[in-house]
Amino acid sequence: MLNSFYSLLTFDFFYDLKFWLFFIFIVPIFRLFSFNLRFRNIIFLICNMLMLLALPGFKISTLIFLFFICVSFFAIGNFLNNNSLINSKRSRVWVASFSIAAVIILLSFFKYSYLQELFSQNILEGKLAVGGYIFIIGISYLSFKMMHFLIESFKKNIKGINFLNFLNYIFFFSSFISGPINRYNQFSEQLSSILNNTLKEDLKAGSERIIHGLFKKIVLCTILYPYTLVNIKAGIADAGANKILLGLYAYTLFFYFDFSGYTDIALGSARIMGLALPENFNNPFMKKNIQQLWANWHMSLTGWLTDYIYWPLCKKLRKLDYMKKNPILLSNISIIVTFIICGMWHGETANFIIWGAYQGVGLAVLNIYQKYKRKVRNEAIKKYYQSKYSEWVGIIGTFHFFVFGILIFSLELGEIKMLVLRFW
């Protein structure tokens, strides 16, 4: 009986009918209590936490742990953001650096199993069972949100800092699992004001996004999955070149439809509640170079990496005279480092680091190419660059660059090596 009760209250987000039944219950509560924002946000927080507890494997102990972490980092952020509490720049830098390092350690521990293994062997004396490693769903996105909050608090850019808003920002169920990575100020402003649109407007716009997302995930992904590279991994050693190539194209499209479909549903469900989340995709496979592709693929992650890794690294490197005189080299080093970190964020195996380096080097080569392209004086070549033919060559070339990246992203190094030896 108890197991049946827990089963009733456990469901996958967006796929399960039970999710939508609970969602239909939450929407009117959130919208009707807009006349009392504090009460509405308390109810909203309770709903967010209950929704997270419905995720398979998400235990109440996990929620309590994350709540404690959130309280700790909110206190630090509030401390940094308050003009009257700490004025020494050196002290502020130390507090901010320590807190961001703590978030990175938290992310690394729960994301990389080998760190838990080291912890188990050296601290717990092997008491953590093999296969019993702890994984917290949504930890990657939660960590990036926390780092954003701490960095902007250090810069004193956080407006209307509010504990309830912060908790809802972190635990908002619609974007908790796979983003998009929204920013605190934009989300907090929405929670601190009455809804701008009518239910009719939000329901129409939100439902359209949800239908688009469900069509991508249920129809298109279902059609593509049997042909994808990951689905033939068990027999990849015996698969022919045509089957592997088809699997690679299918997996690239599957990857896009699955992720963008999830984003559509997340944005659509938030919109029905009257909340706006940032866009994550904008026709990335129709862009004519990889810089444009990345500016339109997983846009919230790209923006986060640009703001908090690429530009700070550029600023540091610019202090070196040699780098200041060689801006393309400075930019390229920053790009490559940023994408290697991006690869490490996606997974713990070496292929993710190689994938990040591959994307970073590709963007660096594009930087150099565009530098010399601007210097072209030949009229025939300039005319080609301005033509539709050049644009389509760029789109096709960019897409295939990304496709090959999916091969690195989805296969282990041993499998990639085996394929190279087979078809070289």
Mean pLDDT, consecutive 10-residue stretches, the chain (424 aa), reads: 55 88 92 88 95 92 95 94 75 92 92 80 58 80 96 92 96 94 95 88 96 96 91 73 89 96 96 96 96 97 97 95 93 97 92 96 96 88 90 96 94 83 72
Is residue 30 domain-shared with residue 96, that is, in the same domain? yes
| Interatomic CA distance for residues 358 and 290, integer angstroms | 12
Is residue 290 domain-shared with residue 257, that is, in the same domain? no
Q: Which of 281, 312, 347 is at the close of a domain?
A: 281
Is residue 274 domain-shared with residue 324, that is, in the same domain? no
291: number of Cβ within 10 Å: 16
| Interatomic CA distance for residues 76 and 313, integer angstroms | 24
Report which of 148, 180, 192, 189 is spatially closest to residue 269, judged by C-alpha positions: 180
**Cis amide prior to 180 (ω within 30 degrees):** yes
Q: What was the pLDDT predicted at 241?
A: 81
Is residue 126 domain-shared with residue 31, that is, in the same domain? yes
Q: Which of 172, 191, 210 is at the close of a domain?
A: 191
Q: What was the pLDDT predicted at 12?
A: 85
Is residue 112 domain-shared with residue 220, that is, in the same domain? no
Is residue 80 domain-shared with residue 217, that is, in the same domain? no
What is the amino acid identity at position 399?
F
Q: Which of 261, 281, 301 is at the close of a domain?
A: 281
User: Rounded to two decimals, what is the model's pTM?
Assistant: 0.92
Report which of 367, 229, 224, 349 is spatially closest to residue 294, judged by C-alpha positions: 367
- Three-class SS state of 14: coil
Q: Which residues contact 386 (CB under 8 A, 6 or more apart)?
A: none
HSE at residue 210, side-chain half, CA atoms within 13 A, is 18
Is residue 217 domain-shared with residue 347, that is, in the same domain? no
What is the amino acid identity at position 41?
N
Report which of 286, 267, 287, 269 is spatially closest to residue 278, judged by C-alpha positions: 267
User: Can you give the residue range of the structural domain that contains 97?
Assistant: 2-191
Is residue 235 domain-shared with residue 360, that is, in the same domain? no
Alpha helix locations (H) across 282-349?
290-295, 299-305, 311-317, 321-325, 327-346
3: number of Cβ within 10 Å: 7
Q: What was the pLDDT predicted at 132?
A: 60
Is residue 226 domain-shared with residue 124, that is, in the same domain? no
Is residue 47 domain-shared with residue 171, that is, in the same domain? yes
Query: Domain total for the chain?
Result: 3
Angle between helices 113-122 and 89-111 in degrees, nearest 10 = 90
Is residue 147 domain-shared with residue 218, that is, in the same domain? no
Q: Are 106 and 143 in contact (CB under 8 A)?
A: yes
Q: Are 177 and 136 in contact (CB under 8 A)?
A: no
| Interatomic CA distance for residues 100 and 94, integer angstroms | 10
Is residue 313 domain-shared with residue 329, that is, in the same domain? yes
Q: Which residues contact 42 (CB under 8 A, 6 or more apart)?
A: 164
